[in-house]
């Protein structure tokens, strides 16, 4: 990235020298595109006018509202006194505007996986605050061979809140992990992940009645689900332990409210859980999938090119496995992609342009086919 920044610096010097010596100004759009190229790799041909929205800390799972005017995301930054993830919202900034945001979670416990409601006046998110105000402890990975481990906090439940942070309804009540919720295109149904029946599965809840259906039933972690924009399908990430050793490890971790999400593939199905199809067969971690606005192509994050486990990049693929395309070329981490409802913009989270720190920030760009 340094060479790109150096080239940009020389470009800006030339721009302003030219402007000072000539009567014709350089178009602002040209300068803006040059600035965006400090964030965008040359190979990332589908991105234009890329902007970095956050600066510092871990900013992740940034998703658009139904009208595309707002973003909801989770943030941790001990330097700002945010010791574990809390939920924030902000308006999508216009060119030249600063991204302003505010916290809408309570500041208690740990929160994750937020989404806007259809009415644009409420959000849903998962929180552990019902089990206590403090951040729940992170697992000691040294006990598990330093494997990457996710905790399944049994105090996570899903809540609905207004845009001022007032919780208006608790949507789940079962003891165990209830999180990773998103909504159907009509806003009437919520799909989420829970371990309440002894495995980590997907459930779809009718928000008006609270009635729900378990839609996955195969041993393994099922999570991070989305509805397709046309509302006909669901897409998610899943692990499928097969050997006796894999099954034992999975069950042993689950008994301790843990999961090791290092081997996951992308799956799709009808919204009733039928016609399950595995889309990717790459091995390693293929995750954070969602549909393009056409409800046909799929975008997802993966480390499948790198046996050491990183970098993660974004890829596109058709439902039948054809049309595979690498979209990002970051050397560390790109994930959590989502298109705006009109398909004109993409938002994702990345380690790029972080000055060599471990910071993960939110980036937004125009999408170009």
- What is the C-alpha separation between 364 and 344, in angstroms, rounded? 11
- What is the C-alpha separation between 360 and 352, in angstroms, rounded? 8
- What is the C-alpha separation between 248 and 46, in angstroms, rounded? 43
Say whether pLDDT at 351 is over 50. Answer: yes
**How high is the pLDDT of residue 20?**
30
Which residues pair with residue 298 across a beta bridge? 291, 317
Strand 313-318 to strand 297-302: parallel, antiparallel, or no bridges (unpaired)?
antiparallel
Mean pLDDT, the chain, integer: 90
In the block, tokens 């998103």 appear at: 182
Contact 197, 204 (CB under 8 A): no
**How high is the pLDDT of residue 35?**
41
**How high is the pLDDT of residue 1?**
33
At residue 202, the 3 state secondary structure works out as: strand
- What is the C-alpha separation between 48 and 40, in angstroms, rounded? 8
pLDDT per position as a tens digit, 87-96: 999 999 999 9
pLDDT per position as a tens digit, 274-316: 999 999 999 999 999 999 999 999 999 999 999 888 899 999 9
- What is the C-alpha separation between 253 and 199, in angstroms, rounded? 11
Say whether pLDDT at 110 is over 80. Answer: yes
The pTM of the whole model exceeds 0.75:
yes
pLDDT per position as a tens digit, 35-78: 444 699 999 999 999 999 999 999 999 999 999 999 999 999 99
- What is the C-alpha separation between 52 and 359, in angstroms, rounded? 12
Q: Kindly give the interhelix angle for 2-21 and 28-36, rounded to the nearest 10 degrees.
A: 170
The alpha carbon torsion through 64, 338, 360, 307 (nearest 10 deg) reads 160
Contact 127, 105 (CB under 8 A): yes
Distance of CA 75 to the CA centre of its chain: 12
Cβ of 132: how many Cβ atoms within 10 Å? 11
Least confident of 23-32, 153-162, 251-260: 23-32
């Amino acid at each position: 990235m340094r060479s790109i920044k150096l080239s940009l610096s020389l470009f800006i010097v030339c721009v302003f020298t030219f402007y000072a010596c000539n009567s014709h100004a350089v178009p602002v759009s040209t300068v803006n595109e040059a600035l965006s190229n400090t964030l965008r790799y040359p190979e990332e041909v589908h991105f234009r006018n890329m902007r970095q929205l956050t600066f510092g800390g871990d900013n992740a799972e940034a998703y658009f509202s139904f009208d595309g005017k707002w973003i909801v995301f989770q943030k941790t930054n001990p330097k700002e006194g945010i010791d574990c993830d809390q939920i924030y919202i902000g308006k999508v900034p216009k060119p030249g505007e600063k991204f302003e945001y505010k916290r809408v979670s309570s500041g208690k416990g740990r929160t994750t996986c937020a989404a806007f409601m259809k009415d644009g006046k409420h959000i849903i998110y998962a929180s552990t605050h019902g089990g206590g105000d403090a951040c729940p402890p992170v697992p000691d990975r040294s006990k598990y061979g330093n494997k990457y481990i996710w905790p399944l906090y049994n105090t996570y439940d899903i809540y609905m809140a207004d845009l001022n942070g007032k919780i208006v309804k608790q949507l789940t009540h079962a003891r165990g992990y209830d999180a990773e919720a998103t909504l159907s295109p009509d806003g009437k149904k919520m799909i989420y992940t829970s371990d309440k029946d002894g495995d980590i599965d997907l459930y779809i809840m009718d928000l008006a009645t609270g009635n729900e259906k378990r839609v996955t039933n195969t041993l393994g972690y099922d999570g991070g689900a989305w509805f397709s924009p046309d509302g006909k399908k669901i897409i998610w990430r899943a692990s499928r332990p097969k050997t006796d050793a894999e099954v034992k490890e999975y069950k042993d971790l689950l008994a301790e409210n843990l999961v090791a999400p290092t081997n996951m593939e992308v799956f799709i199905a009808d919204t009733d859980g039928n016609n399950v199809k595995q889309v990717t067969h790459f091995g390693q971690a293929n995750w954070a999938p969602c549909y393009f606005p056409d409800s046909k192509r799929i975008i997802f994050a993966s480390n499948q090119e790198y046996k050491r486990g990183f970098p993660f990049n974004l890829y596109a693929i058709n439902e039948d496995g054809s049309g595979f395309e690498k979209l990002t070329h970051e050397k560390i981490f790109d994930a959590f992609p989502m298109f705006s409802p009109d398909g004109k913009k993409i938002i994702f989270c990345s380690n790029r342009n972080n000055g060599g720190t471990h910071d993960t920030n939110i980036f937004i760009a125009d999408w170009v086919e």
